[in-house]
Structure 1
Amino acid sequence: MKFIDEAKIEVIAGDGGNGVASFCREKFRPFGGPDGGDGGKGGSIFAVADRNINTLVDYRYAKLHRAKDGENGRGSDCYGKGAEDVFLRMPVGTLISDPNSGEIIADLTEHEQVVLLAKGGEGGWGNIHFKSSTNRAPRQKTDGKPGEQRELKLELKVLADVGLLGMPNAGKSTFITAVSNARPKIADYPFTTLHPNLGVVRVSHERSFVIADIPGLIEGAAEGAGLGHQFLRHLQRTTLLLHIVDLAPFDDAVDPVKEAKAIVKELKKYDEELHAKPRWLVLNKLDMVPGDERAKRVKDFVKRFAWKGPVFEISALTRDGCEDLINAIYEFIAEQRQKEHRAAETRVVEEARSIASIEPDDPRFKSIE
């Protein structure tokens, strides 16, 4: 299936049915009175997050989504039938926004999360609602209200704990294949990865995390060069970035330090927040470096790159060093999850204390209720 991570669609909810002005015409009931029913409600349009969907390709070609109108009311107290709602299933990680204002309408982050996109119009009232002691033969009725109509921009940002960065052919696809259940295309030429790949890394039966591989970056990516710039948004939700560097390039004229600095530069150009995320250095393809030169080459790279963060030496092909790396990643991810959990608990406690401290006659009390 073709990978699509952006789409623009238009959603049109159904109009409400009109109410009707009608009077009873039954035999032996000469003054039966008003019996006009209400119109039915128009269909609404909802977005539903579905973890079994991985792309927005369906919305690239089906741009218009319309719900049906509610039926009009009828006599004999018959109400119009409400139209069925429309549910649009989208990948988990889809960001829904207004293409004109940029306002975020919804962020689908959980499976089966449901969000209203366009509300159907309410049905009109029949004349049965206007009956009173002074208005015994009302001829008033109201029309149904129109449904909402809006244009939407859909943007998929995959949900992963760890994101892979690196030049084309740095060994990212080989690494994700070695440590997870992902099976991307692997070849000895650059740009074999054309769209993001997600893999689940299982450290043990109950311990796991999700890793994302995007197409390799090249210099000028922030301005649109290469493929990786199109998918950098998929790293914005990650907790940790792994910068994978090919320490044994085929071309002796290629300087790994220069390429690594170019990646960091492009990352900063694209998004300061993404650049500020925790990032680890992973030196790959050490199996292609003679054993007596490995320590010297690693030390030289770290010195010239002026790197002060965590450094891991691996061979994704032979899987040397991969187990230590994924264990360290899991420990880091677990620690971050605990911090987030504690922060969420603190917010709940603070909100509860704030509410408890409000006096019943405080003007804010009504707003909280």
Structure 2
Amino acid sequence: MTELIPAPRTFFWSAPGYQCVDEETTLDAGPGTEGVARWLRATVGAATGLPLPDGRDTENRIVLGIDPDLPAEGYRIVIDGFAPRIQGGSATGVFWGAQTFRQLLGPDAFRRAPVRPGQDWDLPQVTVEDSPRFPWRGLMLDVARHFMPKDGVLRYLGLMAAHKLNVLHFHLTDDQGWRVEIRKYPRLTEVGSWRARTKFGHRASPLWEEKPHGGYYTQDDIREIVAYAAERHITVVPEIDVPGHSQAAIAAYPELGNTDVIDTTSLTVWDTWGISANVLAPTDNTLRFYEGVFEELLDLFPSEFVHVGGDECLKDQWRQSPTAQARIKELGLAGEDELQAWFIGHFDNWLSARGR
């Protein structure tokens, strides 16, 4: 029973043996822990078939409570022959404790329906105490290159919670697809969310899946994902990639690209891997366009941080572009690398001015 994930700081047997959780077991949810009680009933209750009703007038109960002496995300579980206690320094800490409590019940507690209805569940009489070493425990999900339907994202969030990860880095745009509805710019999803085919394996592979690939999340889908994450004490950090990794956006709105270098109207959503040479033009029109994108994004994602990409921006088109070269001269920049830094700095300042 010491194989908990992640391994806790403290684990020891409170007393030899096990104690039972059964159909008579109630939940005694103290102030601030009501959301954890709902999660236990919906998740552990579904797996075990136990109703876990409210109740505090019995020893056969599970007690949820907040102990301000614990770290905010820390928890303590005590199972010692009396009512099992799950305590945390905040509701978040209690929720992480509930994840460990679920592990103590065994792997069948992770099912979606009971496989042996009516069984009693044994809890080892242990004390577990833990708190995270890192406040940011993130996982990045790239839905731009391979779209994941909403239900898959929700499942991913459930797995993150089980492992006590608390930040979903949501990579929503890239050369190969644009995945979030922006009502001001409908072509981003009408055009940018679909590509004609997909490369199998590495970009050097000669194999293709010759069928369209795509999809996107409506704004209500995003609200649902963010709310579902928040119930699991997970923050969703959106990423809109600029100024590179933007071919899907340029395919939808060709004026965003370097129109003085190539015919951007001929571009499609990229169907292979690697780093596309088609990057955003460093124009006022492009800046205003993406400000409009971020305005809608800020209404959907309450996270303190918003990711703007900024990586792997090939400079070939900017070197050839009279418009880009004029902007470098106008701003007194040393070259294309500083132009990229200026571009990212613009959105750094724009987002900071809005409290992000």
Rg bigger for which structure?
A: 1
Q: With the length of structure 2 as denominator, give the TM-score of the two structures.
A: 0.30
Q: Going by fraction, where is helix more abundant, 1 or 2?
A: 2
Q: With the length of structure 1 as denominator, give the TM-score of the two structures.
A: 0.29
